[in-house]
């Protein structure tokens, strides 16, 4: 379940302390960091796996092109909800990565990613002769980012690490990521994969004409709906509506699905989060608005298109057909362990991320549900998917970049991208793998309506971010304002004009 909105409402945190501050303190923070200390960093929260490999030399391009992955385990879909726990046996048998001549270190933040990356690392190491990868989940966000920043300042850190799109452009701007354009151009496997990658991901990871990382995967924002509620109200399932599924139809459905006991709402027809990911920003973006200009140095969220989109949503909240913050808070407090307000019947429709699919499947007795795309804007005629576009990047301080590239190339290969839906419950960055595996319920798993999510994937846009701003400061600048808007204390126009002024104030300060 998502937490209720806090100072930073989005589920893609960035450093709690700015890079500039930590780098300024690096003389104190890094003084005791050694190669052995790197292996022990965050040991209590770390899980890792290393499989030994021979040291026979092999050309990097050959190794990258020939790397293959075994098929995903049938039970691997549970990876999205798995809990990280210390792996003392793996850690004890693995020598410090910094001391292994052909060893590289890979970091990622999600506890639910541990089983999947353990499997991929083991498969990779079995296929290699001149490189061995150790994968670790050293900490959750935001500590994950702070660990990398601190270690980078002392010339240490993972060779390769996972990054979210909210942090990517800022880190690329700050010189913390390696330009991998030449690696891509010389690697036939990755070059072909990049041509098959969703264009929105390619565009985002191309920073000022250079690839400062590789698109890895992303998520879909879906309208999940209770089929029993729909049937009782005599409503046609969303996936049978086609282009008729627009905002006006959603409002009509939400009105019919909302239930009240006198003045008290007992079930909301719709549930929308105070978030830029699968939340209020979806209404703005689908209507043709953008948070920033093309060069990311000016906030443009107070456009007429954005105001109209947010006004539509706030109108639904005002009438009670979309869950109010008060209703959301109360519903969250009584949800049984392991469930959500949607699985508990508190709402009939829920705009959520597809990472909840596994959660829904694990709730006993909750089986009659499906998912559809975000409704089409009646103004622009477009749907939207505001998504965290995750990537894999090469650390500038890595002393083993050629070896590290072999691991990056492997992760971008078709054989690995095909496994992303089952291993991580997410969408492969390559379109062929997504269409073949993610959109096929027989391979990607429930719900059956995932086969209709193609327009959502094609309409994917990154979460808003600027290369000039740390995303924590960025989130903190607009979160209190949007909290007031959701509480109906500010109109859509007032809220977005205040957000635009606040963010542009940060941008002006960052330019000087």
Cα angle value 21/27/33 (rounded, 5°): 110
Selection from 483, 511, 510 nearest residue 498 by Cα: 483
pLDDT digits (tens, 9 = 90+) for 306-348: 999 999 999 999 999 999 999 999 999 999 989 999 999 999 9
> Which residues partner with 161 through β-bridges?
107, 393
Q: How many C-beta neighbours within 10 Å does residue 219 have?
A: 24
- Asked if 272 contacts 457 with a C-beta cutoff of 8 angstroms, the reply is no
**Domain 83-219+388-462 is in which class?**
alpha beta
Res. 61: pLDDT tops 50:
no
pLDDT digits (tens, 9 = 90+) for 388-439: 999 999 999 999 999 999 999 999 999 999 999 999 999 999 999 999 999 9
At residue 101, the pLDDT reads 78
Selection from 190, 71, 69 nearest residue 127 by Cα: 69
Strand (E) or helix (H) holding 67: none
- Cβ-Cβ contacts under 8 Å for 472 (sequence gap 6 or more): 8, 13, 14, 15, 16, 18, 142
Q: Sign of torsion, CA 49 42 140 81?
A: positive
At residue 125, the pLDDT reads 96
- Asked if 177 contacts 212 with a C-beta cutoff of 8 angstroms, the reply is yes
- Asked if 427 contacts 215 with a C-beta cutoff of 8 angstroms, the reply is no
Selection from 422, 200, 223 nearest residue 433 by Cα: 422
Higher pLDDT, 363 or 65: 363
pTM of this prediction?
0.83
- Asked if 417 contacts 433 with a C-beta cutoff of 8 angstroms, the reply is yes
Peptide bond into 254 cis (omega under 30): no
Res. 31: pLDDT tops 60:
no
User: Where does 380-440 show beta strands of DSSP type E?
Assistant: 385-387, 390-394, 427-428
Peptide bond into 126 cis (omega under 30): no
* 471-486 helix and 165-173 helix, angle to the nearest 10 degrees: 140
Res. 40: pLDDT tops 60:
no
Higher pLDDT, 55 or 440: 440
Res. 66: pLDDT tops 70:
no
pLDDT digits (tens, 9 = 90+) for 212-230: 999 999 999 999 999 999 9
pLDDT digits (tens, 9 = 90+) for 119-166: 999 999 999 988 999 999 999 998 999 999 999 999 999 999 999 999
Res. 367: pLDDT tops 50:
yes
Domain boundaries, the chain: 83-219+388-462, 221-387+468-511
With cut-offs at 50, 70 and 90, classify the pLDDT of residue 1. very low
At residue 129, the pLDDT reads 87
Res. 14: pLDDT tops 70:
no
Measured distance CA(436)–CA(438) in Å, rounded: 6
Measured distance CA(206)–CA(401) in Å, rounded: 19
At residue 512, the pLDDT reads 85
pLDDT > 90: percent of the chain: 78
- Mean pLDDT to the nearest integer, 76-83: 31
Measured distance CA(469)–CA(19) in Å, rounded: 10
Measured distance CA(121)–CA(116) in Å, rounded: 9
At residue 64, the pLDDT reads 36
Q: Does the fold of domain 221-387+468-511 match that of domain 83-219+388-462?
A: yes
Would you tell me which CATH number, out of the four given (1.10.10.60, 3.40.50.300, 1.10.1060.10, 3.40.190.10), belongs to the domain 221-387+468-511?
A: 3.40.190.10
Long-range contacts formed by 84-93: CB under 8 A, 24+ apart: 84/45, 84/47, 84/111, 84/114, 84/137, 85/47, 86/43, 86/44, 86/45, 86/46, 86/47, 87/47, 87/48, 87/49, 90/47, 90/48, 90/49, 90/50, 91/43, 91/46, 91/47, 91/48, 93/50
Measured distance CA(478)–CA(495) in Å, rounded: 9
Measured distance CA(58)–CA(66) in Å, rounded: 11
């Amino acid at each position: 379940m998502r937490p209720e909105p806090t100072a930073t409402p989005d589920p893609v945190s960035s450093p709690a302390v700015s890079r500039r501050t930590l780098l300024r303190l690096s003389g104190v923070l890094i003084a005791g960091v050694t190669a052995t200390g790197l292996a022990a960093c965050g040991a209590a929260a770390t899980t890792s796996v290393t499989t030994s490999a021979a040291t026979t030399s092999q050309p990097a391009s050959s190794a990258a092109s020939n790397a293959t992955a075994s098929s995903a385990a049938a039970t691997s879909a549970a990876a999205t909800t798995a809990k990280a726990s210390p792996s003392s046996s793996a850690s004890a048998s693995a020598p410090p990565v910094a001391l292994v001549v052909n060893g590289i270190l890979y970091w990622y933040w999600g506890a639910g990613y541990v089983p999947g990356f353990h499997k991929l690392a083991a498969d990779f190491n079995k296929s290699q002769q001149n490189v061995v990868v150790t994968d670790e989940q050293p900490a959750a966000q935001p500590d994950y980012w702070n660990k990398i920043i601190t270690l980078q300042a002392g010339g240490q850190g993972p060779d390769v690490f996972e990054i979210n799109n909210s942090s990517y452009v800022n880190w690329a701007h700050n010189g913390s990521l390696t330009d991998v354009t030449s690696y891509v151009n010389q690697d036939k496997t990755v070059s072909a994969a990049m041509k098959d990658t969703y264009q929105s991901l390619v565009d985002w990871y191309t920073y000022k004409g250079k690839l400062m990382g590789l698109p890895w995967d992303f998520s879909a924002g879906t309208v999940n709906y209770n089929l029993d509620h729909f049937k009782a109200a005599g409503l046609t399932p969303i996936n049978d509506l086609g282009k008729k599924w627009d905002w006006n139809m959603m409002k009509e459905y939400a009105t019919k699905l909302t239930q009240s006991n006198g003045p008290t709402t007992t079930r909301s027809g719709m549930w929308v989060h105070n978030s830029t990911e699968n939340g209020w920003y979806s209404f703005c973006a689908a209507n043709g608005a953008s948070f920033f200009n093309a060069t990311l140095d000016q906030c443009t969220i107070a456009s007429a298109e954005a105001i109209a989109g947010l006004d539509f949503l706030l109108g639904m909240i005002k009438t009670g057909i979309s869950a109010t913050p008060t209703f959301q808070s109360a519903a969250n407090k009584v949800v049984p362990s392991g469930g959500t307000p949607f699985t508990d019947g508190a709402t009939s429709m829920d705009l959520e991320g597809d990472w909840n699919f596994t959660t829904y499947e694990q709730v006993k007795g909750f089986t009659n549900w499906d998912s559809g795309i975000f409704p089409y804007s009646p103004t622009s005629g477009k749907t939207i998917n505001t998504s965290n576009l995750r990537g894999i990047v090469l650390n500038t301080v890595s002393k083993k970049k050629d070896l590290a590239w072999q691991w990056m190339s492997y992760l971008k290969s078709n054989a690995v991208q095909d496994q992303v839906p089952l291993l991580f419950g997410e969408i492969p960055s390559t379109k062929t793998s997504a269409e073949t595996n993610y959109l096929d319920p027989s391979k990607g798993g429930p719900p059956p309506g995932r086969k209709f999510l193609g327009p959502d994937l094609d309409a994917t846009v990154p979460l808003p971010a600027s290369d000039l701003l740390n995303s924590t400061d960025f989130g903190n600048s607009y979160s209190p304002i949007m909290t007031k808007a959701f509480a109906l204390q500010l109109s859509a126009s007032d809220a977005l004009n205040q957000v635009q002024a606040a963010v542009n104030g940060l941008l002006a300060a960052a330019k000087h």
